[in-house]
A and B are shown apart, each in its own frame.
Chain A
Amino acid sequence: MGGLPADIWQPIRLTIELAAITTVLLLILGTPLAWWLARSRAWWKESVATVVALPLVLPPTVLGFYLLVALGPNGPGGWLAGLWGGRTLAFSFEGLVIGSVFYSMPFVVQPIRNAFEAIGDRPMEVAATLRASPMRAFWTVAVPLARPGFLTAAVVGFTHTVGEFGVVLMIGGNIPGQTKVLSVAIFDYVETSQWREANILAAGMVVFSFVVILAMTLIQKRAGRAGG
Chain B
Amino acid sequence: MMEPAGITASFRGTIGRFSLDAGFEAPARGITGLFGPSGCGKTTVLRCIAGLQRLHPGFCSVDGDVWQDDESFRLPHERPIGYVFQEASLFPHLSVMRNLLYGARGVDIARGEGEIRFDEVVELLGLATLLDRSPQNLSGGERQRVAIGRALLSQPKLLLMDEPLSALDRLTKDEVLPFLERLHEILALPVIYVSHDMAEVERLVDHLVLMEAGRVIASGPLTQLQSDPALPLMKARDAAVSLDAIVEHYDAAYGLASLSVAGGKFVVPAPPVAVGAPRRLRVFAGDVSLAREKPLQSTIVNVLPARILAVTAAGEYEITALLGLAAAGDGAKLLARVTRRSWELLELREGIDIYAQVKAVALVPGPDSSAG
- Are A131 and B154 in contact, CB atoms less than 8 angstroms apart? yes
Further contacts, 17 of them, CB under 8 A, given A128-B76, A130-B151, A145-B93: A122-B89, A123-B89, A123-B91, A125-B52, A127-B77, A129-B76, A129-B77, A129-B103, A130-B77, A130-B103, A131-B77, A132-B77, A133-B77, A141-B91, A144-B93, A145-B92, A227-B93
15 cross-chain CB contacts under 8 A: A122-B85, A123-B89, A126-B83, A128-B51, A129-B77, A129-B83, A129-B103, A130-B151, A130-B154, A131-B77, A132-B102, A137-B77, A144-B93, A227-B92, A228-B136
Please, which residues of chain B bring their CB within 8 A of the CB of A122?
85, 87, 89
Interface string of B44-61 (1 = CB under 8 A from A): 000000111000000000
Please, which residues of chain B bring their CB within 8 A of the CB of A131?
77, 80, 103, 105, 154
Nearest 4 pairs between A and B by C-beta?
Answer: A130-B103, A129-B83, A128-B76, A128-B77
CA distance A68 to B81 in the complex (A): 56
Residues A128 and B52 in contact in the complex (CB < 8 Å), given A122-B85, A133-B77: yes
CA distance A122 to B89 in the complex (A): 7
Of the residues A130, A147, A227, A228, contact of B102 by C-beta under 8 Å: A130
Please, which residues of chain B bring their CB within 8 A of the CB of A137?
77
- Are B52 and A126 in contact, CB atoms less than 8 angstroms apart? no
Please, which residues of chain B bring their CB within 8 A of the CB of A147?
93
CA distance A33 to B17 in the complex (A): 32
B27 at the binding interface (Cβ < 8 Å): no
Of the residues A129, A133, A140, contact of B81 by C-beta under 8 Å: A129
Of the residues A126, A134, A227, contact of B89 by C-beta under 8 Å: A126
B82 at the binding interface (Cβ < 8 Å): yes
Interface of A is mostly: helix
CA distance A42 to B85 in the complex (A): 28
Please, which residues of chain B bring their CB within 8 A of the CB of A140?
102
B346 at the binding interface (Cβ < 8 Å): no
Which of A126, A133, A144, A147 has the largest count of B CB atoms less than 10 A from its CB?
Answer: A126
* Chain B contacts with A in 22-62, Cβ cutoff 8 A: 50-52
CA distance A137 to B76 in the complex (A): 12
Which of A129, A133, A141, A145 has the largest count of B CB atoms less than 10 A from its CB?
Answer: A129
CA distance A60 to B254 in the complex (A): 90
Q: Looking across the interface, which residue of chain A has its beta carbon closest to that of B93?
A: A144
A169–chain B nearest beta-carbon distance, Å = 43
CA distance A33 to B81 in the complex (A): 31
B150 at the binding interface (Cβ < 8 Å): yes
Please, which residues of chain B bring their CB within 8 A of the CB of A145?
91-93
Please, which residues of chain B bring their CB within 8 A of the CB of A144?
93
CA distance A110 to B231 in the complex (A): 54
* Chain B contacts with A in 79-129, Cβ cutoff 8 A: 80-83, 85, 87, 89, 91-93, 102-103, 105
B176–chain A nearest beta-carbon distance, Å = 18
CA distance A134 to B75 in the complex (A): 10
* Chain A contacts with B in 91-138, Cβ cutoff 8 A: 122-123, 125-134, 137
B155–chain A nearest beta-carbon distance, Å = 9
A120–chain B nearest beta-carbon distance, Å = 10
CA distance A140 to B160 in the complex (A): 23
A117–chain B nearest beta-carbon distance, Å = 16
CA distance A133 to B79 in the complex (A): 11
Q: Looking across the interface, which residue of chain B has its beta carbon closest to that of A144?
A: B93
Please, which residues of chain B bring their CB within 8 A of the CB of A141?
91
B162–chain A nearest beta-carbon distance, Å = 11
Of the residues A123, A127, A129, A227, contact of B82 by C-beta under 8 Å: A129
Please, which residues of chain B bring their CB within 8 A of the CB of A125?
52, 76, 83, 85
- Are A130 and B92 in contact, CB atoms less than 8 angstroms apart? no
Interface string of B242-277 (1 = CB under 8 A from A): 000000000000000000000000000000000000
- Are B77 and A126 in contact, CB atoms less than 8 angstroms apart? no
Q: Looking across the interface, which residue of chain A has its beta carbon closest to that of B50?
A: A129
CA distance A125 to B102 in the complex (A): 13
CA distance A227 to B135 in the complex (A): 10
- Are A126 and B93 in contact, CB atoms less than 8 angstroms apart? no
B164–chain A nearest beta-carbon distance, Å = 13
CA distance A206 to B120 in the complex (A): 60
A126–chain B nearest beta-carbon distance, Å = 5
Interface string of A201-228 (1 = CB under 8 A from B): 0000000000000000000000000011
Please, which residues of chain A bring their CB within 8 A of the CB of B150?
130
CA distance A134 to B87 in the complex (A): 22
CA distance A145 to B136 in the complex (A): 14
CA distance A209 to B150 in the complex (A): 45
A188–chain B nearest beta-carbon distance, Å = 47
B93–chain A nearest beta-carbon distance, Å = 5
CA distance A125 to B84 in the complex (A): 11
CA distance A133 to B87 in the complex (A): 22
* Chain B contacts with A in 128-161, Cβ cutoff 8 A: 136, 150-151, 154, 160
Please, which residues of chain B bring their CB within 8 A of the CB of A128?
51-52, 75-77
